[in-house]
Amino acid sequence: MTELVKVNIDNHVADVRLNRPDKYNALSPEMFAAIIETGKALANDRSVRAVVISGEGRGFCAGLDFQSFAEMGGGRKKGSDLFERTPGQKANNAQMPGMVWKQVPVPVIAAIHGVAFGGGLQIALGADIRLAAPDARFSVMEIKWGLVPDMSLTQTLRDLVRIDVAKELTFSGRIVEAAEAEKLGLVTGVCDQPLEEALRMAAELAAKSPHAVSAAKHLLERAWHSDDEAGLWLEESLQRSLIGTPNQIEAVTANFEKRPPKFADRD
């Protein structure tokens, strides 16, 4: 994996760091590709049970790299690659840095400090859980550049805030402080050390049955916007697939024996 994104896997937890600190982890074409590559690789790693994504340096991600944006606006770089789709992929290459985390079949926690602006916010919105530092700031900033958010916000922000709130944030592009972001639902919680707390939480989740946690994420992702019948059938189907499996039996046995469970990796 490219050094634009650093990954360290320890005890089933993948510690993912956006690694362009001199540019506030701003998104260049190469950064887009590196994030997508990382997410896809982790999605296929059966040993990974939880992911934490954060940014090196002063902040999480300042959004689109301004120089790249200027080149696109000046006609020297059309950015057409960002609108391409890999065969069988619903999201295009601009949308995948956010959507790829929803497709990773284990919990993904974003630890946010500094800023998460524009595309940086949309990457964070792709995570299952967001923890922010007290001084973190957020913005749906695309309106500043005469654009609409196009990195999967329509599929992520809708699960967090009311549509009128989403519209106000998108129309204005205003900066939201951490306390308000928590109140609105943009972030799960605010804490002094979001990365440390995210890694602690990830370790706790990684100690659960990986089959059950993965099924739970799949259930909520698929059923949240489905009709009643589809959601109820998916509950039943996933439950049937778990009952009596080795990890499910181990969960019950460990609880009765009052010991930490020893789970096998996902098949």
26-42 pLDDT tens trace: 999 999 999 999 999 99
> Amino acid identity of 208?
K
Are residues 68 and 28 in contact, defined by beta-carbon separation less than 8 angstroms? yes
Q: Report residue 174 as tokens.
A: 């205003």
For residue 199, the surrounding DSSP H or E stretch is helix 194-206
Strands 115-117 and 137-139: parallel
Q: Could you give the CA distance from residue 110 to residue 130 in angstroms, rounded to a whole number?
A: 5
| Domains of the chain, CATH where assigned | 5-205 (3.90.226.10), 208-257 (1.10.12)
pTM of the shown model: 0.94
Strands 5-10 and 13-18: antiparallel
The pLDDT, as a whole number, for residue 79 is: 46
- How many Cα atoms within 13 Å fall on the side-chain side of residue 19? 13
pLDDT class for 2, splitting at 50, 70, 90?
low
Which of 12-16, 120-124, 142-146 bottoms out in mean pLDDT, i.e. has the lowest? 142-146
